[in-house]
Every structure is written in structure tokens, then in C-alpha cells.
A and B are shown apart, each in its own frame.
Chain A
């Protein structure tokens, strides 16, 4: 069933101002555009478009995040978005600050910044797109690459003996007291899109309420570097959610 019909106008407005009018610059079948659309919708529905600051990390989503959204935003160096967001939020506490990062950006080069932003309980929202690879540089091994997954730097597949096992970022961050909401969603089915939208709303709400950091990991399809067609990439996400990256809320701190 086509996605638009499944979700319907009752759930998502036909057009979201925060999404802007520029075309989405992603490969056919990529999940990033859907995730981005959900972030825009969350900002719009919370009524924070005039005071939101999007801190956009470095990856495939840089072009889309800096290009396609329509609200104030700032580009960040690879991995540093939680530190940049800390600077914005501390200097302008009235701002609603979120970061858009990838699994390489956040969980490899930026692991220091995210852990400490979580430790401090910064009042920000962090969205990590997890496509199990480095899309922007041509599909190399990421911390989240699945065991056996072939990438440009693991041509025989990820070998746990050599490269370790995939990092479960949501579960890891949820252990930190400063994190008040942590969930993993996906954009491969209408139902998962619907849940991810709810997760994003909660992750923004805890930060806006001044409780602490809200985190959402979004499993995103990358048919280009998984070497499968877009339909098969939806199945791939289903499989990885069943095996390595379970979907759902991992943490919702009591008010």
C-alpha cells in the first residue's frame, strides 16, 4: 500500500512549513527524507518553529538538513553537534535546540561529545539516523554496521573478531541519568513511521520542559550502499530491528 494513503491526512498535514520547499536531495529509497519530514512535522506541531535551532551534523543529511528544512539552523563539524548545541542552548536558553546526526557522526567520531552532553543532561534533543554505514563517503564500516555486512572497507563482511559487534547507541545512552527519553524508531513501515513521530515528540518535550536530553535513533534505509533495491531495504530494516536494533522506548524518565 502506498505510504501516503496509509498514513493519511489525518495524521500528517499535507504540507509542513518547517519542511521548506526545496527538493529532498537523497538517493531513491533512502529513509532520511522521511525522518526529516517527521522532525519538521514535530517542530510544527509543537509550535516552536520561531525558536528552534537545528544543529546539522556532517553526513548525507547535511545537504538535506541545511538545504531542505525551513527554520533557523547551523551546520556542525563531524561529530561535534552536541557540543555546538550545548553552546547555543546555554547562550540562548529560550531556544529549542536539536541536533541531526548520523551513526558515524554521533557514534564514532562524536562519541565524546554525545556522552558528555548526555552526562550534563543538556536540554536538547538529539536525533541519530542509523543506516549502518557511512553513506556520504561511499559506504564504509560504521560502528553500527551489522555482523557480516559488506562495506567498502569490510569487503568480506563485518567480522566481530576484527571489528567488534555493532554499537547499540540508544541502550548505551539510556544508562546516563541526564537522558530523560531514549527510543529507537524506524521509517520502513507506516506503523514504524507513526511510532517514530511519537518518539520525536517526546524527545522534544523532555528538552523543552527542561528535564534533560531527549534522544531518538531512527533506523534508516540505505539501498545504495546495502546493495539492495528499495523494497528489499525495507525488509533489511525489519531484520536488523528483529536481531540487533530492537524498536521502541528504552527510557522514559518519570516526571
Chain B
């Protein structure tokens, strides 16, 4: 039996979650992520899992919090507005170290915005996780296959680090249909020893102990700090394409990177020395990998479907004397042509 199917991004993410052993999902309908909830509402009962349609995103993420505390692989799908509402709980999940996966299929903001795809949730995803010094790993798929693969990786990372993981897509990835290959079904993992209800050598498991003395407060924040440092060292991921001899390097993620790949291919075919660098993890941001890829380039082009958000991380990573040029798509997705023209202009600027 082949496990290759034609699916849209939302469906692929939902099926991949089930394959990864996720057996609890909660969500609130929100375009363009709703199909994930719809798919899971039918699929979860087939595999002995649970899907709850919550009364709000606040409730959805707190249900995930409860399910995660009881040892289940749990997730919630949403879009930017919902992710805004989930910030407090994400902060709490960081604090008490609970795993969980949040999928943000981003739509235009700010505010209610509209349904077209956007990358303007970059700040919310990478600087988010609410108040305090919390951090969530952020994965940025470009294709339907990658959305499926990264969903599975997200659950593994969440469990490994007992930390929330975000999958940042957009309305385009949510709806585009492509062939996708799924790995075999994984069993629901055994409940971890720290989960509830559970006891540890006669002591009741406790999640979210109330601390007041500053020493133990500092100890717990140091523990998180140490974990985040480990994640930065171990889990940073990026891809470089045609970057070895490039004069101009395009840095893009997600859908913008998908379009940029096409633009770079076309430009290469026309003899232009351009390359692409694509962060796969937005936090941790692949700073060192970007420095290596940008070594020797004359300029960097940063196409983003927003007013310029990731470009801040690019600037922080690279030599300030390097020319770093934004290319912002305010509504919807780029056409490869737009990026190719921008590259051409940059190259002509040299002569």
C-alpha cells in the first residue's frame, strides 16, 4: 500500500500529526487553518484519539496544556489571530516545560485583516510565546511534503525538550495541493514518567509548582536558559542553494523561499551568479550558517511577504557594511518574476 497522496498543506499537516502519534487535538475554526481541525475531527476517533472543538483559542491551547500534562502528544491548529490569543498559555507551557505543537497558517493582519497569505507573523512566532523569557522552536516549511515532515519533527522536538514548537505556514501552503509521502503510523508514545496522574517513588507528580523564593525562581529560569542554549546549538537548521559562488544571496523562508528558489533557478539559467539561503528553523535563527553562506557575497536580498521582519535577524547576523536589501510584498505571495527583477537590479547596480 502506497502512502503517497495528493493533499493540501492543511490535510498533510493533520495526517502527519496522527502519524507522529498525536492523539489529542483541540482547535477553534479559523480560516485558513480550519481544514486541519476538520480533518482531525474525523481522523482522531479512527485511531483512538480525541479532537475537541474548543470555544476559543484560549480554551484550545489550554486543553493542549492539560493533555500534554497527562502525557499525550497534543496539538492545536490556528492562524495569527488565534496565535495572539494563545500567547499567555505558550508562556506558561515554556515555564512549566510542557510539550505541544501549534500550527499557524498565517493570514493577512494586523487585526482581523483578510484571508490572503502573509509572513507577517514572523515576529509573533519568533519573539512570541507571550510574556517573560520563553522561547518556542519555530519551523518554517515551504512545500506540502516539508509541512508533513516538519509536523512530525515538531512533535519529536517538543517531547525532546519539553517545550512548545510552532509550525509557521501561511494561507498559500494551507491550500496548495501537492503529492506527499507519509511515514508509517507511529504508536502513541508511552506516557512520560513526569505526566499526570502519576507518582515518582511515592511522591506525587506536580506540574507548575508555585515558587516564591528568589533562589529557586532563578534556578528554574537558569534551567530554561540552559535548555534554550542547547536548542540553539543542536537544532538550528537551514538550507543553502547555489550559494557557493554567488554575488547576491537571497535570504527567504517559507512560501517566499519557494518562489525565490524558482527565481534563483531562472537567474542562474540566464547566467547570473545568485544563490538562496533558507532558514528552516526561524528560532533558533541560523546565524552562523547564514554567515557562512553569505561569505564573499556583495549584497543580500531579503524577500518577505510582510513589511520586513526576518530582515532584522539577517542584519543581526551579518556584517553591517554588507548591503542588505528588503523586498517586501505587502499583500499575497510573490511571483518569481518580482524577485528575479530585484536580483537583476541589484546586479546592475554594480556595473
A residues near B (Cβ < 8 Å) are 50-53, 55-56, 62-63, 66-67, 70-77, 80, 83-92, 95-96, 112-113, 115-116
A-B contact pairs, 18 of them (CB 8 A): A50-B197, A63-B210, A74-B196, A76-B62, A76-B208, A77-B62, A83-B62, A84-B65, A85-B66, A87-B70, A88-B66, A88-B69, A88-B70, A90-B24, A90-B67, A91-B66, A91-B67, A92-B197
Residues of A within 8 A of B74 (CB): 87, 91
The answer to whether A87 touches B210, judged by C-beta atoms less than 8 angstroms apart, is no
CB of B59 within 8 Å of the partner chain = yes
Which chain B residues (179-198) contact chain A, with CB distance < 8 Å?
191, 196-198
The answer to whether B66 touches A87, judged by C-beta atoms less than 8 angstroms apart, is yes
The answer to whether B59 touches A91, judged by C-beta atoms less than 8 angstroms apart, is no
The answer to whether A112 touches B67, judged by C-beta atoms less than 8 angstroms apart, is no
CB of B260 within 8 Å of the partner chain = no
Residue of A nearest to B91 (CB): A77
**Contact pattern, B 161-184, Cβ under 8 Å of A = 1, otherwise 0:** 000000000000000000000000
CB of B262 within 8 Å of the partner chain = no
Interface centre among A52, A73, A83, A116 (most CB of B within 10 A): A83
Please, how many angstroms separate the alpha-carbon atoms of A52 and B62 in the complex?
Answer: 19
The answer to whether A87 touches B197, judged by C-beta atoms less than 8 angstroms apart, is no
The answer to whether B204 touches A83, judged by C-beta atoms less than 8 angstroms apart, is no
Residues of A within 8 A of B256 (CB): none
CB of B3 within 8 Å of the partner chain = no
The answer to whether B204 touches A75, judged by C-beta atoms less than 8 angstroms apart, is no
Please, how many angstroms separate the alpha-carbon atoms of A81 and B198 in the complex?
Answer: 19
- The segment from B48-56, B270-278, B285-293, B325-333 that touches chain A is B48-56
Residues of A within 8 A of B96 (CB): 75
The answer to whether B71 touches A92, judged by C-beta atoms less than 8 angstroms apart, is yes
Please, how many angstroms separate the alpha-carbon atoms of A72 and B50 in the complex?
Answer: 23
Interface centre among B55, B66, B196 (most CB of A within 10 A): B66
Contact of B196 among A72, A76, A83, A116 (CB under 8 A): A72
Contact of A92 among B59, B64, B196, B205 (CB under 8 A): B196
Please, how many angstroms separate the alpha-carbon atoms of A75 and B204 in the complex?
Answer: 14
CB of B68 within 8 Å of the partner chain = yes
CB of B135 within 8 Å of the partner chain = no
**Residue total for B at the interface (Cβ-Cβ under 8 A):** 40
Q: What 5 pairs across the A-B complex have the smallest Cβ distances? A: A87-B66, A75-B208, A83-B62, A87-B63, A84-B66
Q: How far is the CB of B209 from chain A (nearest CB, A)?
A: 6
CB of B217 within 8 Å of the partner chain = no
Please, how many angstroms separate the alpha-carbon atoms of A50 and B200 in the complex?
Answer: 11
CB of B231 within 8 Å of the partner chain = no
The answer to whether B72 touches A91, judged by C-beta atoms less than 8 angstroms apart, is yes
Q: How far is the CB of A58 from chain B (nearest CB, A)?
A: 10
Contact of B52 among A80, A90, A115 (CB under 8 A): A90
Q: A50-B199, A80-B59, A86-B59 are in contact. List 19 more A-B contacts (CB 8 A).
A: A53-B69, A66-B208, A72-B206, A75-B210, A76-B62, A77-B62, A77-B89, A80-B58, A86-B52, A86-B63, A86-B66, A87-B26, A87-B64, A87-B68, A87-B70, A88-B66, A90-B67, A91-B50, A95-B196
The answer to whether A87 touches B204, judged by C-beta atoms less than 8 angstroms apart, is no
Contact of A53 among B23, B68, B70, B208 (CB under 8 A): B70
The answer to whether B197 touches A53, judged by C-beta atoms less than 8 angstroms apart, is yes
The answer to whether A77 touches B70, judged by C-beta atoms less than 8 angstroms apart, is no
Contact of A90 among B63, B65, B206, B207 (CB under 8 A): B63
Contact of B66 among A55, A71, A72, A112 (CB under 8 A): A55
The answer to whether B89 touches A72, judged by C-beta atoms less than 8 angstroms apart, is no
Contact of A72 among B55, B67, B199 (CB under 8 A): B199
Q: How far is the CB of B211 from chain A (nearest CB, A)?
A: 9
Residue of B nearest to A71 (CB): B204
Contact of B197 among A51, A75, A90 (CB under 8 A): A51
Please, how many angstroms separate the alpha-carbon atoms of A207 and B209 in the complex?
Answer: 26
CB of B142 within 8 Å of the partner chain = no
Residues of B within 8 A of A74 (CB): 66, 69, 196, 206-208
Q: How far is the CB of A23 from chain B (nearest CB, A)?
A: 14
Which chain B residues (38-96) contact chain A, with CB distance < 8 Å?
50, 52, 54-56, 58-60, 62-72, 74, 88-89, 92, 96
Residues of A within 8 A of B92 (CB): 77
Contact of A87 among B67, B207, B212 (CB under 8 A): B67
Q: How far is the CB of A114 from chain B (nearest CB, A)?
A: 10
Q: How far is the CB of A93 from chain B (nearest CB, A)?
A: 9
Please, how many angstroms separate the alpha-carbon atoms of A90 and B68 in the complex?
Answer: 11
Please, how many angstroms separate the alpha-carbon atoms of A112 and B24 in the complex?
Answer: 21
Q: How far is the CB of A66 from chain B (nearest CB, A)?
A: 4
The answer to whether A83 touches B59, judged by C-beta atoms less than 8 angstroms apart, is yes
Please, how many angstroms separate the alpha-carbon atoms of A99 and B174 in the complex?
Answer: 37
Residues of B within 8 A of A88 (CB): 66-67, 69-70, 196
Residue of A nearest to B208 (CB): A75
Interface centre among A55, A74, A116 (most CB of B within 10 A): A74
The answer to whether A75 touches B70, judged by C-beta atoms less than 8 angstroms apart, is no
Please, how many angstroms separate the alpha-carbon atoms of A239 and B294 in the complex?
Answer: 75
Residue of B nearest to A49 (CB): B204
Please, how many angstroms separate the alpha-carbon atoms of A50 and B70 in the complex?
Answer: 14
The answer to whether A70 touches B204, judged by C-beta atoms less than 8 angstroms apart, is yes
Residues of A within 8 A of B88 (CB): 77
Please, how many angstroms separate the alpha-carbon atoms of A62 and B205 in the complex?
Answer: 16
Known: A52-B197, A53-B197, A92-B71. A87 touches B206 (CB 8 A): no
The answer to whether A87 touches B198, judged by C-beta atoms less than 8 angstroms apart, is no
